[in-house]
Structure 1
């Protein structure tokens, strides 16, 4: 793939990490940067990934430098061996040797690691990812003390670890029995759908233990993951070359309002981009004010100058210090809003102590009661709807529910690169969105649900000091800027995201910002994602129907207002069948299905 095409698709000339497919008997997987993903039996994915990871003290992943990689395959066995070195941000080093041995019905992944220096880390060792599609499926867990627990993969998203002290997990899937054995340390599971990862993650070292911790120089760590499979897949493996069929389903309400976040810098740039903004056609503006960092009158005046004459609904998203007197804090904000002459339609308030994640088992930081915060907002902004929830991600909403009687609407954001940032993981994150919204509805009931901002890049890091700077434009987790925002990838992901929100009855869906690293407008003008947001904004308020896909990993559809938009989620050309017609979609492209009446007949 030439550099121009790479840039048009991914916003960078750096190609995706190469994946080598390895198959032996009925077992197959891909080897990507030393780790295993997509373990399949007869084409059925039974394990999403097995990864050996070293996390730094800010939960960033230390990228291994791999040497002496060797791969051998024959009809009965495949072997992968390599050496690797990781370095922490302060220069501490860890070397390890890895071995993967696969047969037609088993796989063993083992690692021996040695710290060359005192290494500060939050986690060192294996993560095993089970596909999110296993929600509600039976699971047998053998614990370290020999106790056997028969349970299920969580259906609604679990805020805390559903299983701890795990030695072995057994599940059945499409006629296949999968046994996963873990050794070398204490493992537990978390529901990664909290962060929009499409998986359940079983990882080493319980979060109840202190972190970060130091691995002393000279110490040796040995871990292994052993997987055994039995049985044959009940469903045939799809070859991937057949057309993807879209079908229309039942009525599912209306399309939500579409919004953008505006920072004060965006508001100041509004005059330059006024024509483009008008063409975009969004219905909502989320005005973001960091009052806890000293933002106030100047920033509010910038908002007033930039948006007061616009027709969009304006909500002030305000992070307050969250000290002992939220009434005084919000009176100050209200006075500044009045002095700036800013016209508002609603306010959403978040206390700063809740900006940082509080993992299960950890002590919550001092913070005013949320009911008091929302009462203070009502007193300071009489007559305005008051929103709450979390400035951060669904994880934090799931762990700390707002008092519903005190708010008029609830919101949270999502970000797909908290744990992984490769192209496949980011696109697979779309699979988790229906579970997030269903679990969100279980928390907030019928309250208006405002989702967003939704961006690939991370605008806020609840798990460290800040989102990671990304000056080289790489695909890295927790980055404050992602190169794919400049490519067709982000546009496809955006349409795909909206397609996954069907049953949630969202009030508002907010995508990114106007300008900047998460903006729809970049240094070169309108990004491809601009057209994606524009297409969605044109459907706001329209009657919506469920839209099924025979291969949702490749193509999904969104049906609203008598129109159907199909989007290709892959880097390969896809053919779409809609009724009697065929549509060809280029990589990461979206297009309208012309024969809507024929598609309607497929319901």
Structure 2
């Protein structure tokens, strides 16, 4: 294997440039300019709105990356003004638009766009999207002005809403901080809101063009759109608190145990598992789908592959037939018994449930849920029977399974459904506590399990397939996302597991073993810089192996700054704490004095870790200062007690 790769490869798995957003300022007003859109609009440090974006999507809900030109920015002490021209599309279709963004020191912001289709343009959505944050907003009051001018006082959803919590919108007014309210006015079309926590986004999204209208739809060649979003504030932002040194502290009383961890396995991955180091996983979810050419022999091969790395095989099977589902389930049960009944946990899903049914759309023909799982009980006696959705939590939230007939409720997630940038991926971790609480409510007292989940998209419920990524870039709906192979992927994984562990998940499965979200680098038909030269272990391997070793140990509460992710457990008479830097900036953090040994997985140790399955043990050294230094997206294991 060659010397350590370039820093972007170590952090993000790609050399694609991702310049930091430009900060626009007008007095106490700040906003981040990112790819022509606005993020984190703040007044005196208080977040008013999470984002305002003009979005152009294709027919599969993929988001085009606009090509921006003629960008001009004027900044003065009490205001900023910028304009640009942009083109979105592909080889088959094109849309151009002109944008004007202005901000003033009084907190007001306007974002105006005039767009024109240069060809007939097929799209699922083209227009403004506004994101409200969830922290400090979830469950709080909001005043709604509807498109007809009527006013309504309501609340942002607390539990994740499966459909649109607010519709027919013109303006929304909410309290961003005590004594400071913000009004967001949307012009040019009728807007409605969805709860983006459904898709692990840390926001409520207000978007243009109601879902009750047909989609995809075509903008005729030459057709024009004119839309605008305007913000205004009332009141005064509270004084900022003094910044204290970041501190991590541990509680003494356990809050449950560390759940078992697993990974997914597709039949195509089985040959790549020969000779790999054992990752210590508790289970492997063996995916079986006859529509993808899987046969009964694949059941045996996957079960043996899972056992070969010391993991219990679980079966996740798609039932294709809508009318003869009973016979298909019975035949699958017979095939499993013929190979010795290796699966003690079996999850089944009708094939129609792999696809989304948007609110207001008719549900496609599917087996009756009760009869479906009654047939499963007969075909698989004595197993833990799981049901739910093999796609995203959204689909589970919209179509609840018959929990009385099930032992486990299951769903998966992706971090890149709506956005493909690094910040959105890490920010989305904020949505997981709400998702866990909502999943527990749906489960109605039954355990729920999560995964296989990853940064990238496992399957696309909203279109034909996830986005292929031959260019190894950042984009929404990636099937093979480069960040998974970098330190960002390892830090994100630790945050995902810790937050769902806190939320009560009975088991958590991440990605796969040797596929696009794998633990081991294997030859693929997409670029894997550095790893294509000699294989090796992705950084996430060490996180999964380390956290798997904590399975069933008492989990300790951790208080920590929001710039890190953390999970702690009591191991014998000692304590083990895992920390991840969820940012791209260096951090110094004070940790409990009882922790006196530390292992580091960071950019400096990336190459060594890629070739050493026991890196976290070999890298362990003394910690004497009670203060740790963390590079971008670094992961630390600390021990003591």
SS of the aligned residue for 2:248 comes to strand
- The answer as to 2:586 corresponding to 1:548 is no
Alignment-derived partner of residue 472 in structure 1 = 471
Conserved in 2, the CA contact under 8 Å of 1:322 and 1:353? no
Shift of 1:232: 2.7
Contact 1:53 1:126 in 2 (8 A): yes
> 2:615 — aligned with what?
none
Q: Unpaired segments of 5 or more residues in structure 2? A: 523-534, 594-625
User: Closer, same or farther in 2 for the Cα pair 1:60/1:9, shift >3 Å?
Assistant: same
Quickly say closer, same or farther: Cα 1:64–1:238, change in 2 above 3 A: farther
1:144 match: 147
Counterpart residue number, 1:527: 538
TM-score (norm 2): 0.89
**Using the alignment, how far apart are the partners of 1:445 and 1:251 within structure 2?**
24
Corresponding residue number in structure 2 for 1:536: 547
Please say if residues 393 and 412 of structure 2, whose CA atoms lie closer than 8 Å, have aligned partners that are also in contact: yes
Are 2:567 and 1:558 aligned?
yes
Secondary structure of the residue that 1:501 maps to in structure 2?
helix
1:499-551 residue CA offsets vs partner (Å, 9 max, x unmatched): 212432221110111112110111321100000111110111111122122x3
- 1:100 to 2:101 alignment: yes
CA distance in 1, matches of 2:582, 2:160: 25
Task: After superposition, give the CA deviation of every residue in 1:67-86 in whole Å (9 maximum; x if it has no partner).
Answer: 10001101111001000111
1:367 Cα deviation after fit: 0.3
Structure 1 residues 334-413: aligned runs within 5 Å: 334-341=333-340, 343-413=342-412
Match of 1:230 in 2: 234
Whether 1:578 aligns to 2:587 is no
Give the Cα–Cα distance (whole angstroms) in 2 for the partners of residues 491 and 321 of structure 1.
35
1:271 aligns with 2:280: no
1:178-193 alignment runs, 5 A limit: 178-193=182-197
TM-score with structure 1 setting the length: 0.94
Q: Does 1:81 align with 2:103?
A: no
1:592 Cα offset (Å): 2.6
Question: Counterpart of 2:492 in 1: which secondary structure?
Answer: helix
Match of 2:530 in 1: none
Check the 8 A contact 2:58/2:123 in 1, yes or no. Answer: yes
1:458 and 1:478 in contact (8 A); partners too:
yes
Task: Give distance in 2, aligned partners of 1:335 and 1:391.
Answer: 23
In the other structure, the counterpart of 1:8 is 10
Distance 1:50 1:72 in 2: 19
Is 1:255 aligned with 2:258?
Answer: yes
Query: Could you tell me how far apart the structure 1 residues matched to 2:272 and 2:422 are?
Result: 31
Alpha-carbon distance in 2 for matches of 1:196, 1:382: 35
Q: Deviations over 1:206-249 (max 9, x none)?
A: 0000001111111111000000123333251676xx64222334
Query: How does 1:99-138 map onto structure 2 within 5 Å?
Result: 99-104=100-105, 105-133=107-135, 134-138=137-141
In the TM superposition, 1:492-531 aligns within 5 A as 492-523=491-522, 524-531=535-542
Are the counterparts in 2 of residues 578 and 593 from structure 1 also a CA contact under 8 Å?
Answer: no
Deviation at 1:143, TM superposition (A): 0.2
**How far apart are 1:3 and its partner, in Å?**
6.8
**Offset at 1:271?**
2.4
Give the match for residue 218 of structure 1. 222
User: 1:296, 1:336 within 8 Å by CA — same for their partners in 2?
Assistant: no
Number of equivalences: 586
2:72 is equivalent to residue 70 of structure 1: yes
Secondary structure of the corresponding residue to residue 298 of structure 1: helix
Structure 1 residue aligned with 2:49 = 47
- Separation (CA, whole Å) in 1 of partners of 2:68 and 2:5: 25
State the alpha-carbon separation in 2 of the partners of residues 541 and 304 from structure 1: 23
**Aligned partners of 1:475 and 1:482 also within 8 Å:** yes
The list of structure 1 runs, each at least 4 consecutive aligned residues, that deviate by more than 6 angstroms after superposition, is: none
Aligned residue number for residue 618 of structure 2: none
Deviates more, 1:191-200 or 1:256-265: 256-265
Give 1:601's aligned residue.
Answer: none
Tell me how far apart the structure 1 counterparts of residues 565 and 475 of structure 2 sit (CA, whole Å): 26
Alignment root-mean-square deviation, CA: 1.7
Matched position secondary structure for 1:253: coil
